[in-house]
Structure 1
């Protein structure tokens, strides 16, 4: 009987251990998810906000790996450094993957790829050309500034290469000589770690790989993991649109001319409201971009001169100066030549042409107005006929007359009488000087 009790107790213990093991099977069978963040196009404020949100969502979902899929010509330095800081601070591995075939990770994209814990490329892709672009000239001062910028960028990418154990020499050449590499050569030169045809192939190659995260080794098991793709929100898409310098310039023009139109034709309301909205959105976008203040000042000066031409026509002098200042300012407005952040010369020329047409219409209307006959004011009264209706205090040289349905005081050098037709010669305040029209006096034949 006692042996039976012992056997039952052992059975219950084994059953408990078995239940505990079975409860952990789902955890073994379902690895932590893998988050994919596709980064396409020029890297700017909207891109950095999108990538940072993707990394934050990956942390909230307990992801074991983030795949940052790159296809970029480069972008702004500040936005690139924001992304790199987030990658370096990430509590989980980040794999930079240049894909699909035909994609590139040029300029800022090369720095980001070097910062990732794992660097991979798809066949038919390339990376490199990481030299900072300078807008300066060729004099001694600008050459020294350019050299300083290149040295800073070179040290930055060397630090990333040393951190990830990748080819330091080629990284420096990518900055100083703007060299590029296709995927196969990048793997041979130990610039990247893997070549994979697509994301599933990349995850297969990474299965079992050990990655150091802040001094701690993590073993990846991405096979069978849930793939979660983070896409840009409408806010990020809108931000990417308005931070395009060309779009920002167009919004600035629409806003400015909307307000001018409202001032010229008050009471409508719609141009003023829409102009204010466009102007505020444009200013917000320019605030996020590397603005050249000299270019902004020239742009505002040009717009001001063109408005002055519209308000006080100078027959083209102010307008021509405004067009020159506007074109110069628009060309200098964004203080970078990063891919995707330049303003097209065709756009500048088109906006200048539209402004010139606007000014031509204004000047033409002014010239036409000068040639037209005066229809208001003292000039219009001169020569107008009036009819005497009464004398003033029996003064035959002063009286009241009807002029276009209005009563006016009149005075004459010749005697007046009611019913007489006179012609206005001049105006002195509220009194009109008149001359008698040659007509027979009542009672004369």
Structure 2
């Protein structure tokens, strides 16, 4: 009985001591800063810092491994780190290039793993205006954190020369040993544990913040190469939808591509929902153009609206230009491929009119075409809006007044414009 009682007391003491010991631990919230710096990463870091502050963390450690990314996102991330009331530590584990430099120097302490690098932070495009803005951001944060602003600026501006460190015309990129030699960093470590030992942080309770599914998805769709792919899918899907009857896979691909592209732009803060409105206005103009013969004002307004919406959805004019050129190139290649393949699949009638220019095949001159006014016929191909109609024994190339008319539908000739015969579907009932 006594033995059981003493065992019970020991267990209680052990549990209480563990609780007290746990309370005395230093909580360190670890945030991964890996991959492209973009709006998705910003939201992940923002939510992580808010969580650390809400739960009264003792330290925030950002483990950095990035080639950089968007300047605007890195500036927002920097503001979050600098304004946090929790001590922050940057652990450069491999590389902190470009936008990663600003994120690193925003922290109170900087540690680097062996064989790591920091630097090469020239903005793209490297115009005088962009370099001036970017270097001022770097220098301001460096001064606030007690680091040499000139060293940081030389990572972004090739015109800055520092004797014995970097020549004019080159960007500064520091190795771990060099950064330690000039006292740019606080230490060289092999792991996070070494950092805690160096800062005399005992009894560490680490909490890794990986981000939720929404944050990961936001980061993915705002990657530059993913945005280009989404925009290209939008245009390719639209072309597929235009050359095939009814609403199908092309329309679904187009909606998903454009929706995710512009949705990523809204998440990134480049534009509001107004950009969707401008884009869909452009689509409406193109649909109206497709319903009319030739190419005119609606077509130009449609292309202009879509191009303008892409510019609004992009981080810069250069980025918008790259997006548009790449997407249009992919779309043209797809269209050319479709034109070559469609005849083999007997769908070429959706794009081409194969009537030969002789009376035997149904061809008549524009003067003779006026005789078809008010006459009725049957569609022998889809009208989208052009196609073929049989009137009596003759097969004619026509253009529908509406958008799309299916095979077998009755139509009536309502107008003859030169060589063009315009028909209207006869609604049954």
Asked if TM exceeds 0.5, the reply is: yes
Aligned counterpart, 2:212: 233
Matches within 5 A, 1:364-379: 366-371=351-356, 373=361, 376=378
Provide the secondary structure at the position in 2 that maps to 1:176.
coil
Mean alpha-carbon deviation: is it higher for 226-235 or for 362-371?
362-371
**CA 1:337–1:188: 2 relative to 1, 3 Å:** farther
Match of 1:194 in 2: 187
Separation (CA, whole Å) in 2 of partners of 1:265 and 1:148 = 48
Partner of 1:204: 197
Instruction: Supply the distance in 1 between the matched residues of 2:329 and 2:238 (Cα, whole angstroms).
Output: 22
Q: Matched residue of 2:118: which SS?
A: strand
Equivalent pair of 1:290/1:336 in contact (CA under 8 Å)? no
SS for the counterpart of 2:68 is coil
Give structure 2 stretches of 5+ with no counterpart. Answer: 1-12, 159-170, 363-376, 380-388, 396-429
Deviation (angstroms), 1:367:
3.9
Q: Tell me by how many angstroms 1:349 deviates.
A: 4.0
Is 1:246 the counterpart of 2:225? The answer is yes
Query: Are the aligned partners of 1:261 and 1:271 in contact in 2 as well (CA < 8 Å)?
Result: yes
- For 1:95, the equivalent position in structure 2 comes to 89
After TM superposition, the structure 1 stretch with the greater mean CA deviation from structure 2, 153-162 or 268-277, is 268-277
**Cα 1:64/1:358, change in 2 over 3 Å:** same
**Structure 1 residue aligned with 2:203:** 224
Equivalent position of 1:282 in the other structure: 261
Question: TM-score, length-normalised on structure 1?
Answer: 0.60
Give the secondary-structure state (helix, strand or coil) at the position aligned to 1:43. coil
**Alignment: residue pair count:** 332
Moved more, 301-310 or 353-362: 301-310
What's the CA shift for 1:161?
Answer: 1.8
Structure 1 residues 162, 380: closer, same or farther in 2, change over 3 A? closer
Q: 2:144 maps to which residue?
A: 163
- Give me the whole-angstrom Cα distance separating, in 1, the residues matched to 2:177 and 2:117: 9
Equivalent-residue separation in structure 1 for 2:324 and 2:197 (angstroms): 44
Q: Is the 8 A contact 1:331 1:345 kept in 2?
A: no
Deviations 1:3-49 (A, max 9, x none): xxxxxxxxxxxxxxxx9xx9899258732211111111111100000
- The residue number in structure 2 matching 1:355 is 335
Local SS of the residue matching 1:246: helix
SS of residue matched to 2:60 = strand
Tell which deviates more after alignment, 234-243 or 40-49: 234-243
Tell me, what secondary structure is at the counterpart of 1:119? strand
Q: Quick one: which of 168, 178, 194 aligns to 1:185?
A: 178
Report if the CA contact (8 A) 1:262-1:268 is conserved: yes
Distance in 2 between residues matched to 1:379 and 1:348, nearest whole Å = 37
CA RMSD across the alignment: 4.7
CA contact (8 A) 2:30 2:209 kept: yes
Where do residues 200-349 of structure 1 align in structure 2 (5 Å cutoff)?
A: 200-207=193-200, 221=201, 223-256=202-235, 258=237, 267-268=246-247, 271-273=250-252, 275-288=254-267, 334-336=314-316, 349=329
The answer as to 2:156 corresponding to 1:175 is yes
The separation in 2 between residues aligned to 1:379 and 1:269, in whole angstroms, is: 28
Q: Can you list the C-alpha shifts for 1:157-187, whole angstroms capped at 9, x where unaligned? A: 2222222222222112112222110011011
| Match among 63, 70, 78 for residue 72 of structure 2 | 78
Specify the SS of the correspondent of 1:369: coil
Partner residue of 1:62 out of 47, 56, 60:
56
SS of 1:33 mapped into structure 2? strand
CA separation of 1:365 and 1:263: change in aligned 2, threshold 3 A: closer
* TM-score calculated relative to the size of structure 2: 0.62
1:244 Cα shift? Answer: 2.5
Shift of 1:270: 5.6
Match of 2:117 among 103, 113, 126: 126
- Counterpart CA distance in 2 for 1:160 and 1:256 is 42
Corresponding residue for residue 109 of structure 1: 100
Distance in 2 (alpha carbons) for counterparts of 1:328 and 1:351: 18
**What CA distance in whole angstroms lies between the structure 1 residues aligned with 2:124 and 2:190?**
32
